[in-house]
Structure 1
Amino acid sequence: MISFTKQGAGKPIILLHGFCETKEMWKTFSVQLSESHTVYCLDLPGFGESLLSSSQLNLEEVAVTLHEWMEEQKIQKPIIIGHSLGGYVALAMAKLMGSELRGIGLFHSTAFADDQEKKHTRNKTITFIKKHGVEKFIESFVPPLFAVQHQERLEEEIATLIQYGKKTAKKTVIVYIEAMRDRKDRFEVWKTFGGAKLMIVGTLDPAIKIEASKEHAAFVTAYHELEGVGHMGMFEEKNKCLEIVKAFLMER
């Protein structure tokens, strides 16, 4: 079962949250974008109020589940914008569905697979969670996603994200870390996807290296770098990100 919200009328937009996040992170975006579009915000399987039916999964299986959900909801030709993990899922959906999608957006995400350094970090994270639990992990994981200069101003938002993240089951956290670690390189999908492509990156993103992000720019419809922003531009530069997404959608 996929838990989701639906707002507005017009062409469909699907917003996918990132790792240990929920659909609630998109509340402001949903309200604003629903003035011109039908906006769906959903919980990926295992997060928020959506159930995880398997103890193992890969991103291709998540893409199939969301495709089936789209068919149930009779959603046709959407633009899918995903934050971080949500972007990985959007790329898996682009591989699966191709021209059935009107466009995709990577919001602090990448088409590249994990390198060996990143895989090693993910393995260490799994070990930490098994030993110390999800709550302790989330408390240390969320704040550094924001650039240091934004953390005090966004203290309330950070606390809310921590609160939602702590509710995630240990099984869900671990299987998604494994799925991200083992995900396929989707750069060829990014290059050849025929629909519109949006990319929003932070110059101080600790999770997605800016040098890697720049390699996507030659194959994108709209590419935007947020100066002095970490991994959470939808909070760190909310108004600017809203303007970027609105402009991208209005041209489609």
Structure 2
Amino acid sequence: MSAIHFFEKGQGQPVILIHGFCEISEMWQDFAEALSSEYRVICPDLPGCGKSPLTLSQNSLEEVAVQLEDWIEEQNIQDPIVIGHSLGGYVTLALLALMGSKLKAVGLFHSTAFADDTDKKGMRDRTVVFLKKHGVDTFVTSFVPPLIPEHKRDDFQAEIAAAIVQAKQSTLDGLIAYTKAMRDREDRFEVFQNFSGPKLMIAGTLDSAVKIDASRKHKVAVTDYHELEGVGHLGMIEQKETCMEILRGFCGKAIG
């Protein structure tokens, strides 16, 4: 049996929501509640995050995708719509490369199909050094707040504090493994572009982690592109209701 921990709400068309780096499935609680009247919403903790153990000493995104495919089969999840935030988007693309047409639709939420460039790889290496030196709590306390633009942080103090509490449920080994996996991941733009099903991208114009110029290059590959003006990397917090409606509309179109 799979060691993947998850929660689910609702019935009908399966929609899998995959959390990002320094996040856990709990981040999707409000989205799952909002969508559960129409869909079976399933939110896993990635291996090494939350309540899912890190079952491999050196995760690659391909290995994570294999574990998720096994879990999907065990849970009898047929033709899911899969949407991932940030790292969750990279995992979604690895799952797409593995499962192809077995997925009904896919979405990238503040994520990208492109591989890391040289500068980003260097940043990942520095993150690994910092994590090994300072540990999880110190890292996530400094990592989470800048995901929201500085001029808006006072308005989201409670949400940032909650996100930090969730991030502290990450394991040190898990954060290091995913940092390396993100650094070493393949460019999957062609895989994404060639997928014939519905494809969603949600981008923030002030996203410091996934630059808006890179997001705009995906327009040729997606069926649904949404730009959130003045939003950073956490649109599900900064414009929660708007993002819920985008996901609801996309899922509705995906099932026709």
Match of 1:120 among 107, 119, 122: 122
Q: Could you tell me how far apart the structure 2 residues matched to 1:161 and 1:5 are?
A: 18
Cα deviation, 1:59-93, whole Å, max 9, x if unaligned, reads: 00100100000000010100000000000000001
What is the CA-CA distance between 1:167 and the residue it aligns to? 2.5
Structure 1 residue aligned with 2:47: 45
What amino acid is the match of 1:59? L
Structure 2 residue aligned with 1:206: 208
Q: Could you tell me how far apart the structure 2 residues matched to 1:235 and 1:164 are?
A: 14
Cα deviation, 1:118-147, whole Å, max 9, x if unaligned, reads: 000110111111111111111110000012
Q: Could you tell me how far apart the structure 1 residues matched to 2:166 and 2:17 are?
A: 17
Match of 2:106 among 83, 104, 107: 104
Q: Could you tell me how far apart the structure 2 residues matched to 1:248 and 1:93 are?
A: 19
Structure 2 residue aligned with 1:21: 23
Q: Could you tell me how far apart the structure 2 residues matched to 1:227 and 1:205 are?
A: 10
Match of 2:4 among 2, 10, 31: 2
Cα deviation, 1:181-212, whole Å, max 9, x if unaligned, reads: 00000000111011110000000000001111
Q: Could you tell me how far apart the structure 2 residues matched to 1:149 and 1:3 are?
A: 36
1:228 aligned onto 2:235: no
What is the CA-CA distance between 1:149 and the residue it aligns to? 3.0
- What are the within-5 Å matches in structure 2 for residues 15-94 of structure 1? 15-94=17-96
- What are the within-5 Å matches in structure 2 for residues 158-197 of structure 1? 158-197=160-199
In the alignment, structure 2 segments of 5+ residues that lack a partner are none
Cα deviation, 1:189-245, whole Å, max 9, x if unaligned, reads: 111011110000000000001111000011111000000000000000001111111
Q: Could you tell me how far apart the structure 2 residues matched to 1:248 and 1:32 are?
A: 14
Q: Could you tell me how far apart the structure 2 residues matched to 1:22 and 1:168 are?
A: 8
Q: Quick one: percent identity of the two aligned structures?
A: 56
What is the CA-CA distance between 1:150 and the residue it aligns to? 2.5
1:247 aligned onto 2:249: yes
What amino acid is the match of 2:100? G
Q: Give the SS at the match of 2:220.
A: helix
What amino acid is the match of 1:195? G
Cα deviation, 1:22-52, whole Å, max 9, x if unaligned, reads: 0110011000111100000110001000111
Q: Could you tell me how far apart the structure 1 residues matched to 2:197 and 2:10 are?
A: 23
Q: Could you tell me how far apart the structure 1 residues matched to 2:108 and 2:96 are?
A: 12
Cα deviation, 1:81-128, whole Å, max 9, x if unaligned, reads: 000000000000110000000000000000000000000011011111
Q: Give the SS at the match of 2:119.
A: helix
What amino acid is the match of 1:215? K
What amino acid is the match of 1:36? E
What amino acid is the match of 1:64? V
1:218 aligned onto 2:220: yes
Q: Could you tell me how far apart the structure 1 residues matched to 2:193 and 2:166 are?
A: 34
Q: Give the SS at the match of 1:50.
A: coil
What is the CA-CA distance between 1:20 and the residue it aligns to? 1.2
Q: Give the SS at the match of 1:217.
A: coil
Q: Could you tell me how far apart the structure 1 residues matched to 2:189 and 2:113 are?
A: 5
Q: Could you tell me how far apart the structure 1 residues matched to 2:163 and 2:55 are?
A: 24
Structure 2 residue aligned with 1:11: 13
What is the TM-score normalised by the length of structure 2?
0.97
